[in-house]
Structures are given as C-alpha cells and as structure tokens.
Structure 1
C-alpha cells in the first residue's frame, strides 16, 4: 500500500470517532442528498412556527465526498452509498453540491486511483481538503456577462449544469433588467418555451433544501420578477422550504426576505411565511445593526402588522437616529408610509435633516417625501415651504411636468406657495402652446382648488389657459371638459365656447350615465349655480335638467349648535344696517324694513383654508361669493377656536363676532393671503 493511501486511511480512522452514528446521508439517483436524521431526544424549543409539518431540519454543514469501492477487503454494499460527516473548526463545504460531472457528489466511475488524487498533509490538511472538495459555485455575474439573452443562459445550463441553480435565475434576471421592456417580454416568452427551462426548475426544487439560505431567497425574488406564476409547484416549493429553514435567516436575509414578500400575492404559504417573518423580527429587532436592513424590514413588513410591533420598530429607529445618514432620513418618510405608521417624532426629526440638505435633492426623493406626507396626513409647513422655495429658486432646471407634479401634491396637502405658483403662471402666459391636455386640466385644478389669484396677470393667465384648451376641444373627453369648466367657474371665469360644448345634450347625457356620476352631478350643479349668481357669468345657459344631489350624511357640530342655541335660539338673525337692532320673526314691520340686512354665520373647520393660513380654498371662496351675491353678510366662526372655550366664553365669543364693528371685513376675503 502506498504512503498516500496509508495516510488517507489513517486520517479516516482518526476521524471516525467523531462521526455521529445516527446521521446518514442517502444519495438518490439524481445525485442530490437528502438527510435522514434520527434524533432520540429532539428539543422543539427552537422551533419557530408550530404550523410547519416537517419542522426545520438541521443543516448538513460539512460533507466529505468520497466513495471507496474496496479498501482493505471492505466492500461497499451495492445500491447504497454513504457519505460521512466530519466536524472541523471551519466550514469545509457548507451546503454546496454540484450536479455536473466535475463536481458531482458521487460518480459511478470513481476508482481508488481517483481517490488517491486527494492529497492530505497533517500541517495543512484542512485547507487542502477545503480547496479540493468544495465545489466551485457558478457566478451569476460572470454568467450574465458571458450571455446576451435568457436563452443563452439556459443553453449554458443544458451543456453543463452546475450548482447552484440559483445562479442561472439570477443571471437571467440580471440580463432581463438591462434590456428594453418589449425585448424583455419577448425573451421571457422564449425562456418559458426553452427545453431546458423545465429541467432548471426541477433542479431548483431538488437543490432547495441544500442551497444557502440567501441564495434561496434571491432565487425566489428572481423567479417572481421573471414572471413565473406564483401558483406553480416550483414557487410553492421555494416558499415552503423558506418557511422550514426560516431559523437560518440572519440580518442580511431579513432584508432580502422582506423585499421578496412584497411582490407575492396572499396565499397560505405566503401568509405563513409573513407571520414567521414578523415573529422573527419581533425577536431580533434590537439586534439589527444596519439602518438599511431596519428600514427595509419596516417598509415591507406590511400595513397589517400588529401595532405593538410597529411601535417596537419605531423605537428602534428613534434609538438609531444619531446614526441616520441624509439618505436614511429622506427614505424614512416612504418607509413609514409603506408601514402605515404615523410617527410624528420620527417625521419631525427627519424633516429637519431634509430641510438642512434640500439643495441637490433629486426630484424622485422630493416627490416620495411629499407623497408619504399626504398618505400619513403629516403636515409640516416648514418642510413644504423648504421644498417649494427650492423648486421656485431653481425653477429653470425643472421640466414643466415636474413643477405641475409638485403643485398637485401641494394641493393634496392644502399648501399654497404664492411665489412658485406665480412663476408657473408666467411660464403659461409666455408659452401656452407647450401645454398638453393633461397639463391644462391639472393646472386648472390646482389653481382653482387653492384659490390662487395674482392680480397682475390673473386675466392673462385665464385667457392663456382658455386658448390652450380650445385647441384640444375637438378631441377632449366629456369628463376633462367638465373638470376644466368647473375649475374656471370656481375662479369666477366663464369661457363661452367651452360652456357651449359642455351644455350640449349628448355631453350632459354621457356625464350622467358614465364615469363617477355622483361627482359629475355635483360639478354640474355648481356650474348652474355659478351661471345664475355670479355677475361675471355674462353667458346664461338654458336650464340644464339635472337629478337632485344625493343627500349627504349629516355631521352636526353639537357644540356649535348648543352655543348658538343659548345665544340666539335660532340660526337666522335679522338686524338693521347699523347692527344696533335685532328683529324678531314675529315682528311684521321687520319684514318690510328697508334697512334690514341678512347675516350668514358660517362655522368652518381648518380644512376650508390653505395650510396654516386664512386664505379660503376654492369651494369655500365660491360659497362666500354666492352668499354675498344673495345679499348676505358673511360672518365666519372657526370651530377649532370655539371648541377651546367654556360655554360662557363661547357665547361671548360668538356675540363679539356678530355685534363687533370689526366683524365686518374691510377687504375681500377671496383675495386675502
């Protein structure tokens, strides 16, 4: 016997004492190993989810690959092959197997001569063992560089399949991302029809239990992005295996798993996996070290996450505030919106960082911040003003559609920035022809909703918008036409050509029978009212037969009603022009008094004004305008101020509003900033 063979057998003899007799790997014909584990005393303490049928099988971390057909007279039983498990100080071959001829787990042609090629030395046996026996994984990056299409990747797999199969799916997704959308759809169709695709899916399912956990998660993400249906056997197998091995999930895998779950539709396996993720996050939240991982988990953990876990993630984020980068602070808005958790303290702190670093902030980031504020109902005037100031200062570098997008979000938030809106008005007056239909309707909506009036160029702006819209009259939709005319009416402007077309019988019938009919009916009623009451409505349309508006649910302000009842006993007051005498309804002379003036007392919420101002929004401004046209003197009472007072003080407050000489406004409230 040669020295090398003797050395090999000596090492095996020394290590045989370390072998657990109860753990055997049986090799199946396809060349993949399935661990058969027999535990006399299994402790379920570490089992994460009780719902898993198979439990979480322990990982086979160290595999010694080698077959001895005949060594010193010992003959391997035919049809049964065994591998032995070693325990070394370092990981020798962690869950890496290969299905190709070069790195196969077993080979029917293995001989003593092949086995003798493994060179062991006592001084560096571990390193040599690792180098010789660990299969070299296929790099998906290298594969993506060498291949030009998804079919090329599958061709490479069919020629020489190697472990892990995740590399092929990752390479295909890498290629798919760098090509155009049309070509991507075509390539994916070819991928599904490729003869090697089913083979690759089969290998993926067989390798799922021995693959590195992060590779398994990357595979799931790539498979879903490539359009493989979720109800297929492969995807469900991956989901089930990820559940079974969820205890292998480290901090990096938490981030990957959270991202992958976002793309999946609810089903039994997905729901179980999401529940497992939440349990795992709840256990490991204080151990998360990287801010990026924390934010990814928060973003994708789901809006239906229990409030207690949301609070715990919020506290973890607050604890790590000192480590937040500018990008982390900017991203936190979107994270909280995705989790549907309104943390005012966290938002306030991140807002300060955003304000201090506003210059150079990309368009996509700013839009994401404003969208998140809208979804979270978070109003921070300093933040909004900082963003609007930045856009107004750098107005020339922004595209028209980008500025309109900013203004649409500001309108959603109820925030009005006069400087930015004036700059857009100037651009519209200079180049009305640059506006498309979508731009026109959006601009009219913003300016009418926020009731923005610039005395210097308001008339020119409205005429420019009318001219730009008239160009599109021959192909404008009924709803767009209604929305545009409705906006003009709120701004007390009535373009005759647009109203003529809108009031045509076929257009009215279409609006009453399609789309959001309730909203259409409301806007048509507003149009009718404006044409009847507004002095500027020189065009008087024929009566438009409209159905009655549906009764809106009553939301009485009980506190205000009680105050007025204690003060007046009714809500209509008749008094002389000097406001020195109040007339009773039973007083016959009062009905014929020439010096009588009617008052309209409006108790209004904050939402009728632009954010943190007394500038009325469009519908409220129109209501005041119409009340004045009908001869009412309008007195406004802010219900948020009234609610702070006791009953006696509230009555005195209302009395002062009605009788005080200062109650009458000396300026037009419609133009009040």
Structure 2
C-alpha cells in the first residue's frame, strides 16, 4: 500500500513538470487573429489535491506529445501518445482523457469519471467552437453593412476574419457605386486608415493558403483601388499568382486577364503574362464561356505569338453560333487589342451589329469605329449602317455626340452624306450650340471630306465664320491656323480670322516651334535660338524634321503624296532643309537606337533624292 501511494505521488510530480504554470497562449485558426493570452496559476497537482478554488476556463485544451499512463494492477508506468488534455472549470473535476486509476485508490469511481468526461466534452465542444471561430464575414454582408471604404476597414479592425481578401473585394464593390470625386476622397482616407497596413499584411500572409479564386478577386480589387504597383502588397500577390497559376480555372482565367489588362508593364507582370499565354495555349479548347475567351484574347497582347492568335481565332470561329450581341460588339475591340485582323470574324460580327443596331450606346459605336481604323478594316456596309441609324434617330442625339461620330468617320475616310447634311441644318438653325472646340472640329471634318450642300453650304460657312470670330481671342494660334486652313480649303476666306492670323505676334508664335532645328552650315553644331540672335554673322541652316506615316507616300514607294508634297515645297521656299522620318521605322527602335538614327539624319550632309526630285517637279 505504501509503495502504491509513493508511486502515485511521484507520478503526480512528473505531471506537474509537463503542465505550464505561468501562462498559455490560444492561437486562432491559421494564426490570422491576435493571440489571446490566458494567465493561470494552476498545475495538475493542485488540481487533484487542493480545493479547486482557482477559476479556470473550460475551453482550454493542452496538446501533449507524450503523457504518462498508469496501469491499475502494478507499480510501473508507461508512456503513450495522448491527443488532448481537457481542463475542467472550478465547479467540476475532470481527469485527463485515457488516464485511468485504480478505482479503489482514486478520488472518484469509474462511473462517475465517465459521466464527468461525457458532460464536459458535450459542453466544452460548443464553447471551443464559439470562441475560436469568429463569425464569417462575406463580401455581400460587408457591402450591406458598410457605406464607405473606411467602414470596411473599421469592421476589419474590430474582428479580423479569414479570408482577408473579402475586405478588399468589398471595398472595390462599394467604390464602384461612388462618383469619381467621392472615390478619390475615399481612397485617400483608405490609405490613411490605421487598419489599412494591417489588412495588407494579413492578405500577404494568407496569399499562399487562401483559395485561388479568392486570391484573384482580391488581386483585382487591389489593382482597381489604385494601390501603387511597386508596393510590397502588389508585388507579393504577383509572385504568388505566378507560383499558383496551375490552379487557375476558367473563372480565374477571366479575372487574371482583367488584372493584367489594368496593370502597367514590369518584370513580374511580363512574367505573369507569359505564364498566362502558356496556360491559354494549353486550355484554349476547354474554355466554355465566350466572355472568358474574349477577355483572354484581349489580354495576351499584340506581341503574342501568331500561332496563339491563330488558335484563339479558330476557337472564336467555332463559337460564333453562341455569340450574343454584346460578344459581337466587343469582338472589334478584342481583335484591335491583339492587333489581329480576322476578316471572317469581323464580317460576321459586323452583320450582327448592323442587324441589331437600334439602341446601341454611343460608346460602343465609337469603339467599333476606332477598332476598325486600328485594324485597317473598311466595311462600307458597317459604316453605312451606323450612319443611317444615327440619321434616323438624329433628334435624340446631342450635337457633341454626333460630332464624335463624324470625327471617327473622317478618320476612316467615310463621308456620311445624309448625316452631314442634317448637322449642317442644325448648326444653321441653332448656332448657339457651337463652342470653340466644336467649330474647329466641324471645319476640319467638312473640309477634309470636302462636303458641300447647294442649299446650306453658304449659310453654314457664314455661321461658322461668325462663331469663330467670337472666339478669336480665346483660341490658340495653332487652332486658328487650322481653322483658317479649313476655310480656305472650302473656298471661303473670312477677313477677321485671316487678319488675326497675320498679326506679327501670332506669326512669331507659330514660327517659334520646337516641328524646327538651327545649326551651322557645316552641320557640326546645333544652335539655340538665343545663339542665333547674338551671332548674326554665323551662317545658319534651318532644318524641319517631319515624322510621317506610311499613308503619305504613294503605294509601294517613297514618293510623297499631295498634302505632304505641298508642305515640303513651302518649307523649302521658306529656307528649310526637310528631313522625313518614317514613324513605322522609329517604332521598331529602342530609345538609344532612335537617338542615334535621328542624329545621323540631322548631321548628315546627304539630301533625300525623292524630296529634291519632288520639290523640283512641283515648283
């Protein structure tokens, strides 16, 4: 009997060394909330032998790698792995699980211990779950309860929950409902909020363990909220998305495309875009939604391999029968972003657009026309369909809206006769609608397309002259020059604008352009304008550098066409040496190469043969 009692007390001392006596730390799930420290001054020996006066929390569980288990029939003991040890409250006693004593020598009988264990497990489980798992906060709940970005951050600071990405997604959803000015103000408050840095840290810690779709939506929200791209948060998300890109499903593919489209080029963005191209090439035939396909096509960029562009074109052609009206309207912009002119796709989408054009918003019409220009796609039926729709619904359009369309048509070289006649009539009937910008733009469009109407042209020109005269002191010298040039092209010569243009200060301002370079006749040194004023005896050569597109030349040659030839002739008569720079060649060069090329052309003693021949033939 004495041996049993001695062995029992010795074992109790061993347990007391295993149980912490100063403090314990409860870590919430995934370690994403603040650690909660619970102080206590108990040990297992006091628990079994004293009067249990100390208050204890019933929800604490201590994890043991090994614990001692007594055999009821002998003096020895053995080690055995035990999962958890529950601590009872001050009102009830609980022995460790799987820890058994001889019923003859224990404080309670086996039946009483079983009842205590069962009662404690049932009551303790609910308390543990309630304390360690905070209530889930969803994006929709945050959007309902919060009215500003700061409200979302306040909610996060009170009780952070996993995943933290929900808070960024909620902030972006709320920001989309705001006006631009309010959004700008709210973003500034967001950056200055004390919980903002803490939220960023949580998102960076959770990035590798949160679901991939949560990661992508939070990444999109971070980018859309305007968080600078060079911050640690954005760069961390970029790297994690790269590492986990194989987890990308179709929905994530669409979100990732939207993210990359909104970001500026940098090394991490370029690497991620390259990874997206590889992923798309592998999964292109498995994409089910047309919207996702178009988002991917728009994102891969102009420098994507032609083989990938061709594969995406074939996938889009396969899905043509599933195209909605919105898909057809959007395809123009998508192909322009790829810089890939698929005539078959464009023709089919044009038919869909023209057949369902009523009610089409102005923004979509302008995007279609701009994309056609970028792709050099000239579909007269499409242009005529858009022009006829605007003509038949002319009364519901503002003059400013119609002017935007006319500018787009002029860029394409298309003259919508009926629409331009209606605009003429409205300008004559309501001259008060004109402002300085609309006057300059209308004159440019009508002179460029050389549009005349026997009944209204003269009245139209008089109204435009009167409107321009009222803005003579409010427009720039360059705009005045463009307006007078447009009038002259239409065989109209208004005295007031011309007299204003011929004033010395206007001419001096127009001649003091940067489109001019002055250097010595030996072409060794470029002189500033102050130097040329001081050194009057120095022989000076004036050089005009013109950067021109391919369209100013005759087809398959470097022979200048009409307007460029006239400009070059006039510059030569004014004493300039003309240097033509082809912009499509400059775009292929790096900055250093472009600078070297320009220096070579400017300082070179040779002259362009085609320029001289053209000037001699036109003088």
Which position in structure 2 is the counterpart of 1:147?
146
1:32 and 2:30 aligned: yes
Which position in structure 2 is the counterpart of 1:441?
440
1:391 and 2:393 aligned: no
Measured against aligned partners, the alpha-carbon deviations of 1:293-337 in whole angstroms (never above 9, x if no partner) come to 101111122122111111110110011111111211111111111
1:474 and 2:480 aligned: no
- The 2-side partners of 1:241 and 1:332 are apart by 31
Which position in structure 2 is the counterpart of 1:214?
213
- Which stretches in structure 1 are left out of the alignment for 5+ residues? 1-26, 35-65, 79-110, 121-129, 519-545, 562-602, 609-618, 624-673
Question: What is the Cα deviation at residue 267 of structure 1?
Answer: 2.1
Which position in structure 2 is the counterpart of 1:422?
421
- The 1-side partners of 2:191 and 2:557 are apart by 67
Measured against aligned partners, the alpha-carbon deviations of 1:241-300 in whole angstroms (never above 9, x if no partner) come to 111111110011000000001122222221211111110000000010111110111112
Contact 2:28–2:133 under 8 Å retained in 1: no
Measured against aligned partners, the alpha-carbon deviations of 1:9-54 in whole angstroms (never above 9, x if no partner) come to xxxxxxxxxxxxxxxxxx99685379xxxxxxxxxxxxxxxxxxxx
Change (3 A) 1:507 1:392: same
Contact 1:511–1:517 under 8 Å retained in 2: no
Measured against aligned partners, the alpha-carbon deviations of 1:624-667 in whole angstroms (never above 9, x if no partner) come to xxxxxxxxxxxxxxxxxxxxxxxxxxxxxxxxxxxxxxxxxxxx
Contact 1:385–1:417 under 8 Å retained in 2: yes
Which position in structure 1 is the counterpart of 2:412?
413
Query: 1:475 is paired with a residue of what secondary structure?
Result: coil
RMSD of aligned C-alpha atoms? 3.6
Which position in structure 2 is the counterpart of 1:202?
201
Measured against aligned partners, the alpha-carbon deviations of 1:192-215 in whole angstroms (never above 9, x if no partner) come to 121111111111111111111111
Taking structure 1 as the reference length, the TM-score comes to 0.61
1:233 and 2:214 aligned: no
1:41-440 alignment, distance < 5 Å: 69=63, 116=122, 137-440=136-439
Question: What is the Cα deviation at residue 430 of structure 1?
Answer: 1.0
Contact 2:553–2:560 under 8 Å retained in 1: no
Contact 2:477–2:501 under 8 Å retained in 1: yes
Change (3 A) 1:28 1:255: farther
Change (3 A) 1:374 1:135: farther
Contact 1:144–1:174 under 8 Å retained in 2: yes
Contact 1:68–1:76 under 8 Å retained in 2: no
Measured against aligned partners, the alpha-carbon deviations of 1:100-150 in whole angstroms (never above 9, x if no partner) come to xxxxxxxxxxx9978646989xxxxxxxxx999998642112102211221
Contact 2:515–2:544 under 8 Å retained in 1: no
- The 1-side partners of 2:196 and 2:82 are apart by 36
- The 1-side partners of 2:265 and 2:556 are apart by 46
Change (3 A) 1:460 1:512: same
Contact 1:32–1:206 under 8 Å retained in 2: no
Change (3 A) 1:160 1:423: same
1:442-461 alignment, distance < 5 Å: 442-461=441-460
Count of equivalent residues: 446
Which position in structure 2 is the counterpart of 1:3?
none
Measured against aligned partners, the alpha-carbon deviations of 1:599-627 in whole angstroms (never above 9, x if no partner) come to xxxx998xx8xxxxxxxxxx69x99xxxx
- The 2-side partners of 1:182 and 1:195 are apart by 23
- Which stretches in structure 2 are left out of the alignment for 5+ residues? 1-24, 33-59, 70-79, 85-116, 518-540, 568-619
Question: What is the Cα deviation at residue 227 of structure 1?
Answer: 2.0
For the pair shown, which has the larger CA radius of gyration, 1 or 2?
A: 2
Which position in structure 2 is the counterpart of 1:125?
none
Q: Tell which has more relative contact order, 1 or 2 (C-alpha 8 A, sep 6+).
A: 1
Taking structure 2 as the reference length, the TM-score comes to 0.66
Change (3 A) 1:112 1:211: farther
Which position in structure 1 is the counterpart of 2:52?
none
Contact 1:251–1:293 under 8 Å retained in 2: yes
Change (3 A) 1:510 1:604: closer
Query: 2:422 is paired with a residue of what secondary structure?
Result: helix
Query: 1:453 is paired with a residue of what secondary structure?
Result: coil
- The 1-side partners of 2:227 and 2:560 are apart by 54
